[in-house]
Amino acid sequence: MSEIRVRYAPSPTGHLHIGNARTALFNYLFAKSLGGTFILRIEDTDIARNVEGGEASQMNFLRWLGIEWDESVDVGGDYGPYRQLERLEIYQEYAGKLIDAGLAYKCYCTSEELEAEREKLEADGVDYLHYGRRCLENPPTDRTEYSIRFKVPKDVTYKFDDIVRGEVTFESVDVGDWVIVKANGIATYNFACVVDDELMKISHVFRGEEHITNTPKQMMIFNAFDWQIPTYAHMTLIVNDEGKKLSKRDADTIQFIEQYANMGYLPEGLFNFISLLGHAPNSESEVLSHEEIINSFDVKRLSKSPSTFDRAKLAFINTQYIKELDSDELLELCMPHLIDADILTDKSSDWAQGLVDLFHDRLTYGGEIVDLYDAFFGGDFALTEEAKAFMATLSDTGAKTLQAFKDQLSLLEELTPEGIKKAIKQAGTASEVKGKNLFMPCRIGASGQMHGPDLPMMVALLGREVALARLDVVIKSLEGGA
**If you count them, how many residues does the chain have?**
482
- What are phi and psi for residue 155, nearest 5 degrees? 55, 45
Contact status, residue 61 vs residue 31, Cβ threshold 8 Å: no
The amino acid occupying position 306 is: P
Options 248, 347, 425, 436, the catalytic residue: 248
8 A C-beta contact, residue 18 and residue 255? yes
Helix then strand then coil, in percent of the chain rounded to 5, is 50, 10, 40
What residues contact residue 375 under an 8 Å CB cut-off, 6+ apart? Answer: 449
Four-CA torsion 254, 258, 263, 267, nearest 10 degrees: 100
DSSP string for residues in 8-62: E---SSS--BHHHHHHHHHHHHHHHHTT-EEEE-B----GGG--TTHHHHHHHHH
Please answer whether residues 44 and 55 qualify as being in contact, where contact means their C-beta atoms are separated by less than 8 angstroms.
Answer: yes
Instruction: Count CB neighbours of 111 within 10 A.
Output: 10
DSSP character at residue 172: G
Query: Which residues pair with residue 149 across a beta bridge?
Result: 105, 179
Task: Supply φ then ψ for residue 295, to 5 degrees.
Answer: -70, -25
> Quick check: is 245 catalytic?
no
CA torsion angle 156 157 158 159 (round to 10): -150
Q: What is the DSSP string of 342-374?
A: T--TT--HHHHHHHHHHTTTT-SSTTHHHHHHH
* Gap between the Cα atoms of 224 and 227, Å rounded: 8
Structural element, H or E, at residue 465: helix 464-479
Sign (positive/negative) of CA torsion 240, 244, 247, 252?
negative
CB contact at 8 A, 220 and 180:
no
CA distance 377 to 345: 14
CB atoms within 10 A of CB 64: 16
What positions carry a catalytic annotation?
A: 248
